[in-house]
Amino acid sequence: MKVVLGKDVEGRYRYWNDVQLIHRALPEINFDEIDTTVSLLGKKLAAPIVITGMTGGFPDAAKINGNLAQAAAEVGVAMGVGSERAAILRGQYPESYSCVARFDVPLKFANIGAPQIVAQNPGDRVVGPDDVRAAMDLIHADVLAIHLNFLQEMVQPEGDRRAKGCLDRIGELASRFPVLVKETGAGLSREVAEQLRDRSVKAFDVSGTGGTSFAAVEHYRALEQGAEREARVGKTFWDWGIPSPVSVLELVPLGLPVIASGGVRSGLDVARALALGAGAAGIAGGMLRAAATDFAQTKKELEFLVHELKVAMFLTGSKTVADLQKAPYLLTGESRLWRLR
Ligand SMILES: Cc1cc2nc3c(=O)[nH]c(=O)nc-3n(C[C@H](O)[C@H](O)[C@H](O)COP(=O)(O)O)c2cc1C
């Protein structure tokens, strides 16, 4: 959190700029008739935006999650909390998550990490169905987000290195709870998404490369801890992963809802994501500064994002999100090269 606020931890290439929407000089719609509402995972949102999971488990997180939840409720967008491991396995600061339940957020995501659903050390307590139920109840969640963060783990000196068995464990949880699987800045490939779909996962959040880089975040933390090898790995793998727009294009044909995230920083980026066929766009790092300031800034940032989305809809002649999802676009730059591979 401190590192994300204090250092430049963004990916070096802005992949969303590779998605060029085509200007429509004659939109033939009125700006005030534009409808940004969508249905996502059975819930109605006023705009196709998800504030993806960031925080919880320490005292200051209550302020951030509270600001995000109040703004999400008032603007009508979805939100998730950060990993609930601290509250569920260690009983730490449950109120820094549960504050979210006080607000009428239309769609809420609980959050656990894949490394916590398999034993990392002999005798470890792993997150099981009862823990998931508790994590969901804590915030009155609609959906459980399971995050994949093995890049981050590789840059942490004490990172979790055991990934064997995660897929089947995700399948077990997905047979009992509505599960979305998300990455944390390195993207999802179609192959992985197909394996997850075959195990009853209901939706994906691509969280691709180009936004917050967790290799970068952990690079700085490793430096602070004097962990020379991990600091170097963080630098080497700073931009590792699948670009967010590419990941969206790979997953949309699977037919499950796709949240496009990783580097979404404007309402124009939201529009670009929707044009690629995403059901909504997800934003984390781009909301953090406002959320760490106060509620007014948080709400203003969300309102600006929605306004920019509407401007993009107007200038592409898209009256509804469904229209925008059919709008023509050009894929350029690095993202295009990935698609040609
Ligand atoms: C400060 C911070 C903390 C995060 N913590 C979590 C987490 O606990 N669980 C999770 O699933 N994702 C976490 N993420 C990842 C985001 O949900 C998102 O996938 C990623 O940051 C890419 O989006 P962005 O480029 O908009 O930041 C975190 C992101 C940030 C910036």
CATH number, residue 230: 3.20.20.70
DSSP string, 30-55: -GGG-B--EEETTEEESSSEEE----
pTM of the model: 0.98
- Domain residues for 39? 2-340
Q: Which residue's C-alpha comes closest to atom 29 of ligand 1?
A: 54
- Cβ atoms of 134 and 144 within 8 Å: the answer is no
Per-residue pLDDT tens over the stretch 175-221: 999 999 999 999 999 999 999 999 999 999 999 999 999 999 999 99
Q: Which residue's C-alpha comes closest to atom 15 of ligand 1?
A: 184
202 conformational bin, left if phi > 0, alpha if psi -120 to 50, beta if neither: alpha
Ligand 1 mean position to 248 CA, how many Å?
17
Determine the Cα–Cα distance for residues 63 and 53; give it in Å rounded to an integer.
14
Q: Which residue's C-alpha comes closest to atom 23 of ligand 1?
A: 262
Query: What is the reported pLDDT for 52?
Result: 98
Determine the Cα–Cα distance for residues 111 and 214; give it in Å rounded to an integer.
17
Query: What is the reported pLDDT for 159?
Result: 96
**Which of 292, 306, 294 lies closest to 264 in space, CA to CA?**
306
pLDDT band at 339 (very low <50, low <70, confident <90, very high): confident
Q: Which atom of ligand 1 lies closest to the CA of 286?
A: 26
The mean pLDDT value of the chain amounts to 97
Ligand 1 mean position to 102 CA, how many Å?
22
Q: Which atom of ligand 1 lies closest to the CA of 56?
A: 8
- Cβ atoms of 132 and 116 within 8 Å: the answer is no
Determine the Cα–Cα distance for residues 174 and 196; give it in Å rounded to an integer.
9
Q: How far is CA 313 from CA 38, 74, 263, 281, in A?
A: 14, 22, 20, 15
**Which of 93, 48, 51 lies closest to 71 in space, CA to CA?**
51
Average pLDDT over residues 15-20: 98
- Cβ atoms of 84 and 135 within 8 Å: the answer is yes
Ligand 1 mean position to 285 CA, how many Å?
7
Query: What is the reported pLDDT for 341?
Result: 76
Average pLDDT over residues 155-162: 96
pLDDT band at 61 (very low <50, low <70, confident <90, very high): very high
Per-residue pLDDT tens over the stretch 208-267: 999 999 999 999 999 999 999 999 999 999 999 999 999 999 999 999 999 999 999 999
pLDDT band at 340 (very low <50, low <70, confident <90, very high): confident
Q: What percentage of the chain carries pLDDT values higher than 70?
A: 100
**Which of 33, 35, 28, 32 lies closest to 317 in space, CA to CA?**
28
Per-residue pLDDT tens over the stretch 86-140: 999 999 999 999 999 999 999 999 999 999 999 999 989 999 999 999 999 999 9
pLDDT band at 1 (very low <50, low <70, confident <90, very high): confident
Report the amino acid identity of residue 41.
Answer: L
Backbone angles phi, psi at 218, to 5 degrees: -75, -25
Please tell me if the CB atom of residue 223 comes closer than 6 angstroms to any atom of ligand 1: no
Domain count, the chain: 1
Please tell me if the CB atom of residue 184 comes closer than 6 angstroms to any atom of ligand 1: yes
